[in-house]
Chain A
Amino acid sequence: MSKSYLDAGETHCAIGHPKSVFWQWMLTIDHKRIGLMYAAVIFTFFFVAVFVALTMRIELFAPGAQILDGDTFNQAFTLHGVIMIFLFIIPGVPAVFGNIVMPLMIGAKDVSFPRLNWFTFWLYIFGALVALSSLWTGNGFADTGWTFYAPYSLNTNTNVITTLVAAFILGMASILTGLNFLVTIHRLRAPGMDFFKMPLFVWGIYATAWIQLLATPVVGITLVLAILEKFFGIGIFDPSKGGDPVLFEHLFWIYSHPAVYLMILPAFGIMSEIIPTFSRREIFGYRTIALSSASIAGIGYLVWGHHLFTSGMSDLAKTVFSFLTFFVAIPTGIKFYDWVATMYKGQIHLTTPMLWALGTMVTFVIGGLTGVTIAMIGADIHLQDTYYSVAHFHYAMLGGVVFLLFAGLHYWFPLMFGRIYNETHAKIAFWLNFIGFNILWFPMFIAGYQGMPRRYFDYLPEFQIYHQISFFGALIFITGLIMMFTVLIRAIKNGEKVGPNHWNATTLEWHLPTSPPPLENHTKVPYVDFRPYEYHHGEPVVKFNYETMQRID
């Protein structure tokens, strides 16, 4: 029986050659196993944060205090934000699919620095543990919001410093992942695969890696400066010494805005993989999608000021940022048009991954367009820090990034495990998620427009109806989430076995000799003289002999 990367003993380790299965997982440097471990950990944290959110929704069902007091509520939304952003969505697609799929897509045997990859995973775990430890020490988890604005973050006595240290460590892990992927994509592409023959998911990971590398250090040093301010009083964020809290906002958002592009670009990469496969057609506008990823990565560094419209920035700065923010929406729009054009006159297969991708098209368009609304300075003065913002970014992050992450789970599941899940159950789970999501978040646009502020523990009775509808949506959504994960986890052990190219797709990760893949990936590295999405009458053009990896079409 041929061996797969999941079999005992079939792995390379950072130290030695352990015999026990446990240590083989703990020390593995195989990108596929590391990606799986990231998946297991980040989804665990995801559910913790979802339940924190559910607790907040329960509290907000009616005005006044029910199960939480004001201070605890502040800690709850901080915890929710810190876990979702730093522990879940920023590692997110790169850590899971960047690791598992990207090297396979370029015909590589691993990433450029596999031992660094192993170290990075454990650095991430360490950072996560530091963050969570602050729940049980001192005055409990930080209550500043995940944005840690000065001067409150320097004056509060909750565990802000611990969380800042954790965020720094997690940031380092993100930087090292980006670095590893950049070198991998530059150095380890199969012979013949130039940049414009790479699958679009790899373009997404590449653009993301540039943001991981260059933006994260800025927040890293901001956190260090905040720590120094707290312990040594250096003065830069302390108004009593002339320090300026708006400077903190600038520094914080110089990272945190590119960070959202870091989240969405790999997700868009997943969309670009799923759409051609289930339209049975070559993607429309390959080059424009590729270049749009690169330009979003670049322009995304220039728009952070739109988070500071109400901070007292000069009129010129506000205008420049507003203009650039409108401008950065254009490449994303181009992608959407290209995807729709790909589907036009294609043979659409409504499999679960395709359903998730199409659902995302609806929710992300809402998320993206509502972002453009608040890019207008005049509108933002009214809508900043209301539920409108909250609905906007959840539609974009949850309805964009996370939905596509789920789409990727369903798409690459047969690749990772050699099995398929129950399609019907998976589709029901999708609908529960999609319907629940919209009932949960859409009312918040209206509530925010009417004036419901974000991060507020209590509210006027006129807003109650929106919170109640949202709560109802949350219940459906969480049911959908639980169902989806149950379907997938069950299928890991009991799913029907399938071959290496279950979807009959074209990109290299589907041209492996066994399902699940062998440790060393492709039997031989192929010579790539073909485009990534060549279909002819709905069938892939390129065919391989899997022993020699020579083309036989």
Chain B
Amino acid sequence: MDTNKIDYAKEKVGYYKVLGGLLLLTTLTFIQPHMFLEHYTFTVQIMIGATKAWIILMYYMHMKGETLIGWTVVFAVSLVVFFFTVVIPDVNHFQFKEESHITSQAHIEVDYGHHTASHEE
């Protein structure tokens, strides 16, 4: 039995506020690639995602009121971040990068507006 007294009306308003925020961020997701920071689409998209995730975690999942659970989430996410930090730079500096069948792609200048029409749909 959880011990907090619930103010139904207040909570409900809170949920709708979060919904509004999330819908706004979703709209942002759709307009960003055409409107701003187009050369940084990947980073911006992930950051919008992370912001949405933060809001969901804090307010829908009520992590804001939790101490122990908050730290366990921090621990798990930190581990995942560590894996990324080590593995991704590592694969891009693979010792045999030039000879490898898999990694010997020339580093192409990424163009978010470029469309290779070399294959049929």
A313 engages B90 (CB within 8 Å): yes
Which one, A242, A243, A302, A314, contacts B90 given CB within 8 A? A314
B90 engages A317 (CB within 8 Å): yes
Using Cβ atoms and an 8 Å threshold, which residues of chain B touch A214?
Answer: 75-76, 79
Which one, B68, B75, B93, contacts A314 given CB within 8 A? B93
- Distance between B67 CB and nearest chain A CB, rounded to angstroms: 12
Using Cβ atoms and an 8 Å threshold, which residues of chain A touch B76?
Answer: 214
A520 within 8 A of B: no
B82 engages A301 (CB within 8 Å): yes
Which one, B86, B94, B100, contacts A305 given CB within 8 A? B86
Q: Is the contact region of chain B dominated by helix, strand, or loop, or is it mixed?
A: helix
Which one, B79, B87, B90, contacts A301 given CB within 8 A? B79
Using Cβ atoms and an 8 Å threshold, which residues of chain A touch B113?
Answer: none
**Given the interface contacts A244-B102, A316-B89, does A254 sit within 8 Å of B83 by beta carbon?**
yes
Most chain A CB atoms below 10 A, which of B75, B82, B91, B93: B91
**Given the interface contacts A214-B79, A301-B79, A315-B95, does A250 sit within 8 Å of B87 by beta carbon?**
yes
Using Cβ atoms and an 8 Å threshold, which residues of chain B touch A312?
Answer: 94-96, 100
A239 within 8 A of B: yes
Using Cβ atoms and an 8 Å threshold, which residues of chain A touch B68?
Answer: 186
Cβ proximity bits B70-83 to A, threshold 8 Å, 1 near / 0 not: 00000110010011
Cβ proximity bits A316-332 to B, threshold 8 Å, 1 near / 0 not: 11001000000000000
CA separation between A360 and B10, bound complex, in Å? 61
CA separation between A242 and B103, bound complex, in Å? 8
Using Cβ atoms and an 8 Å threshold, which residues of chain B touch A244?
Answer: 91, 102-103
B86 engages A320 (CB within 8 Å): yes
B101 within 8 A of A: yes
A302 engages B82 (CB within 8 Å): yes
Which one, B79, B82, B93, B102, contacts A243 given CB within 8 A? B102
Number of A-B residue pairs at CB separation under 8 A: 44
By beta carbon, the residue of chain B nearest A215 is: B79
By beta carbon, the residue of chain B nearest A210 is: B75
> Size band of the B side of the interface?
10 to 19
A314 engages B82 (CB within 8 Å): no
By beta carbon, the residue of chain A nearest B96 is: A312
B86 engages A317 (CB within 8 Å): yes
CA separation between A243 and B76, bound complex, in Å? 27
CA separation between A246 and B86, bound complex, in Å? 14
CA separation between A314 and B93, bound complex, in Å? 5
**Given the interface contacts A312-B95, A314-B95, does A242 sit within 8 Å of B89 by beta carbon?**
no
B83 engages A314 (CB within 8 Å): no
CA separation between A208 and B91, bound complex, in Å? 30
**Given the interface contacts A302-B82, A305-B86, does A316 sit within 8 Å of B93 by beta carbon?**
yes
Using Cβ atoms and an 8 Å threshold, which residues of chain A touch B102?
Answer: 239, 242-244
Most chain A CB atoms below 10 A, which of B89, B90, B101: B90
CA separation between A223 and B34, bound complex, in Å? 39
Using Cβ atoms and an 8 Å threshold, which residues of chain A touch B101?
Answer: 239
- Interface residues in B48-89 (C-beta closer than 8 Å to A): 68, 75-76, 79, 82-83, 86-87, 89
Using Cβ atoms and an 8 Å threshold, which residues of chain A touch B83?
Answer: 254
Using Cβ atoms and an 8 Å threshold, which residues of chain A touch B93?
Answer: 314-317
Using Cβ atoms and an 8 Å threshold, which residues of chain A touch B95?
Answer: 312-315
Using Cβ atoms and an 8 Å threshold, which residues of chain B touch A305?
Answer: 86, 90
Using Cβ atoms and an 8 Å threshold, which residues of chain B touch A302?
Answer: 82
CA separation between A312 and B90, bound complex, in Å? 10
- Interface residues in A214-250 (C-beta closer than 8 Å to B): 214, 239, 242-244, 246-247, 250
- Distance between A235 CB and nearest chain B CB, rounded to angstroms: 11
B94 engages A314 (CB within 8 Å): yes
- Distance between A233 CB and nearest chain B CB, rounded to angstroms: 16
- Distance between B105 CB and nearest chain A CB, rounded to angstroms: 9
Using Cβ atoms and an 8 Å threshold, which residues of chain B touch A210?
Answer: 75
By beta carbon, the residue of chain B nearest A317 is: B90
Using Cβ atoms and an 8 Å threshold, which residues of chain A touch B103?
Answer: 244
CA separation between A313 and B103, bound complex, in Å? 13
By beta carbon, the residue of chain B nearest A244 is: B102
Cβ proximity bits A508-528 to B, threshold 8 Å, 1 near / 0 not: 000000000000000000000
By beta carbon, the residue of chain B nearest A240 is: B101
Using Cβ atoms and an 8 Å threshold, which residues of chain B touch A320?
Answer: 86
- Distance between A315 CB and nearest chain B CB, rounded to angstroms: 7
Most chain A CB atoms below 10 A, which of B76, B82, B95, B102: B102
Using Cβ atoms and an 8 Å threshold, which residues of chain B touch A314?
Answer: 89-90, 93-95
CA separation between A242 and B91, bound complex, in Å? 13
CA separation between A76 and B65, bound complex, in Å? 53
By beta carbon, the residue of chain A nearest B82 is: A302
Cβ proximity bits A187-227 to B, threshold 8 Å, 1 near / 0 not: 00000000000000000000000100010000000000000
CA separation between A320 and B90, bound complex, in Å? 11
Most chain B CB atoms below 10 A, which of A210, A239, A317: A317
29 contacts between A and B (CB under 8 A): A186-B68, A210-B75, A239-B101, A239-B102, A242-B102, A244-B91, A244-B102, A246-B91, A250-B87, A302-B82, A305-B86, A305-B90, A312-B94, A312-B95, A312-B96, A313-B90, A313-B94, A313-B95, A314-B90, A314-B94, A314-B95, A315-B93, A315-B95, A316-B90, A316-B93, A317-B86, A317-B89, A317-B93, A320-B86
The 10 closest A-B pairs by CB, nearest first: A314-B93, A317-B90, A312-B95, A314-B90, A312-B96, A244-B102, A301-B79, A242-B102, A250-B87, A313-B90
**Chain B interface residues (CB < 8 Å from chain A):** 68, 75-76, 79, 82-83, 86-87, 89-91, 93-96, 100-103
Q: Given contacts A239-B102, A247-B91, A316-B90, list 4 more A-B pairs with CB under 8 A.
A: A186-B68, A210-B75, A316-B89, A317-B90
